[in-house]
Amino acid sequence: MGPMLKKDLLVFWRDRKEILMALLLPIGIIAILSFVLSGMFDSEESPVNVDAALVIEDSQDSGVEHFANQVEESQLSESERERLLMQASQFNPTTMLEEFLNHPDLSDWLNIEKMNKEEATEKIKAGELHAAVYIPSGFTASFLAEVLLDESSEATIQVLAEETSTERSTLGSIVGSYVESMNLQLAVQQLGQTEMVEPQLPEGGTEHVAGSDSDPFNIVQYFTLAIGSLFALFISQTVATKTIAEKREQVFNRILLTNYPPIYFLLGKIASAFVFVWLQLVITILVIQMFFDVFPNASAEFWLGLLLAITGLALAVGGLTGIFTSLTLKMNDPDAINGIATVIIMTFGALGGGFFPIMFLPNFLQHIGIWTPNGKFLVSILEWVQQPALEDLTAPLLYFVGFFLVSLVIALVMFPRRGRNE
């Protein structure tokens, strides 16, 4: 089989057009997508920048004092009063909101400045500020009475703005979620839990696919692997359809006349497709990594897992090449052979997430998609990026070996007996 593999590698290497198609095209497409999508999803700068004022007319001390009077006047027991007063003294909603709005994690996209109501109103009118967070007088007393005594709230936080805008909505939504978070915190305390619950900070604009414990898998990584694996599938067609020329130009017949086992011709194609796919994916990912740092700070373990998955995919594509090669030897119409191969690859490509993210597909198609070689590769690396665990790669690798073996059997069954035309 050695001469066959050597010959196929040389023929492919000398075909500059094929080399360009196999290497530069995926790298080019991924590079363009990375450039475009980085701007859309992964920019370090926030897509929304909010300039806002913080207007505080509330007084913490007088609020707690007002709340203490309310408690004293109530019909509650002494111990209950003491517990409520102690909780009230520990909880300062105005200061906490102020600290929250000045948190370093928000400072990238939220510029907040403390000022009085008149100044804030003027700046908003002048267009210097998008909005103002207004904490009215009596807010602390009202908030404590609402959450601790279950009384209706009279004073609420307001977001002041001249007109509706993205910035105003964003500010409104983070203030709203913060207040809800404080309510939750107090409710938890009421139930007797002593540990404070950290309010969740809003995210700045990165698309997170994974759960909170894992590293996120971003859209650029997705397309790097999806397009890489899609082009890997095309290698099977390229390698197999070289057989058309070998048949047409009687080279295949000349090989048959040498008494060389024809099956080695088939195995040579499978082996060369394996080598091409492996090299193509490794080179593509390395180049993209070098220029775009698609997998920042990835561990050696991650790269090892990725190499294993690439090897698995290359094996599966080798099997597919075997089927296409046997089909080429069996059929006489090159257009029909190309058509069949293209339909199969495009179907695998679409279902396996090569053209658009697999999660946008209907559920039943997603289930089919993950059983395509490229889909399996994509999903396994998607999981691997988030949480590298060797046992998670075992199933995909077994799948690739299984896919290869089934394809090999189909290719052998279809392979013409002795290469002789009947």
Partner 1 sequence: MLETVKLSKTFKNIKAVDEIDLYLNRGESVGLLGPNGAGKSTTISMISSLMKPTSGDVLLNGKSTIKDPSEIRKVLGVVPQEIALYEELSAYENLKFFGEVYSVDKKRLEERIQYTLEMVGLKERQKGLIKTFSGGMKRRVNIAAALLHEPEILILDEPTVGIDPQSRNHILETVKRLNEEQGTTVLYTSHYMEEVEQLCDRVYIVDHGKLVASGTINELLSILSSEDTIQIQLSQTTDSLIEKVSAIDHVLRVDETKEGIRVISKKGSNLLSQIVQIAESEDLQIVHFEVEVPSLEDVFLHLTGKTLRD
Where do contacts with partner 1 occur on this chain (CB under 8 A)?
Answer: 2-4, 6-7, 10-11, 14-15, 248-251, 253-260, 418, 420-422
- Minimal distance, residue 334 CB to partner 1, in Å: 16
Phi then psi for residue 52, to 5 deg, are: -140, 160
Q: 92 vs 328, which CB is nearer to partner 1? A: 328
Q: 208 vs 418, which CB is nearer to partner 1? A: 418
Q: 164 vs 421, which CB is nearer to partner 1? A: 421
- The residue type of 251 is V
Q: How far apart are alpha carbons 63 and 135 in whole angstroms?
A: 12
CA 192, 198, 203, 206 dihedral sign is negative
Q: 41 vs 260, which CB is nearer to partner 1? A: 260
Q: Which residues contact residue 347 at a Cβ distance below 8 angstroms, ignoring those fewer than 6 apart? A: 372
Judge contact between 314 and 274, C-beta under 8 A.
yes
- Minimal distance, residue 253 CB to partner 1, in Å: 5
Q: 1 vs 340, which CB is nearer to partner 1? A: 1
Q: 79 vs 421, which CB is nearer to partner 1? A: 421
- Minimal distance, residue 402 CB to partner 1, in Å: 32
- Tokens, residue 278: 């492996």
Q: 89 vs 253, which CB is nearer to partner 1? A: 253
- Minimal distance, residue 3 CB to partner 1, in Å: 4
Q: 10 vs 286, which CB is nearer to partner 1? A: 10
Exposure string over 389-410, b if 16+ CB within 10 A, otherwise e: eeeebeebbebbeebbeebbeb
Q: How far apart are alpha carbons 63 and 143 in whole angstroms?
A: 9
- Minimal distance, residue 35 CB to partner 1, in Å: 35
- Minimal distance, residue 282 CB to partner 1, in Å: 24
- Closest residue by Cα to residue 243 from 11, 403, 417: 11
Phi then psi for residue 160, to 5 deg, are: -95, 135
Q: DSSP 3-state assignment of 241?
A: helix
Judge contact between 68 and 88, C-beta under 8 A.
yes
Q: 268 vs 353, which CB is nearer to partner 1? A: 268
Three-class SS of 165-217: CHHHHHHHHHHHHHHHHHHHHHHHHHCCCCCCCCCCCCCCCCCCCCCCCCCCC
How far apart are the two ends of the chain, measured CA to CA in Å? Answer: 26
Strand-by-strand arrangement of the 110-114 sheet: 110-114, 50-56, 131-135, 158-160
Q: How far apart are alpha carbons 355 and 351 in whole angstroms?
A: 9
Q: 28 vs 261, which CB is nearer to partner 1? A: 261
- Tokens, residue 57: 């007319």
- Minimal distance, residue 2 CB to partner 1, in Å: 8
- The residue type of 126 is A
- Minimal distance, residue 13 CB to partner 1, in Å: 8
- Minimal distance, residue 254 CB to partner 1, in Å: 4
- Minimal distance, residue 418 CB to partner 1, in Å: 8
Q: 125 vs 248, which CB is nearer to partner 1? A: 248
- Minimal distance, residue 217 CB to partner 1, in Å: 41
- Tokens, residue 365: 């198609």
- Cα torsion 226, 321, 4, 416 to 10°: value is 180
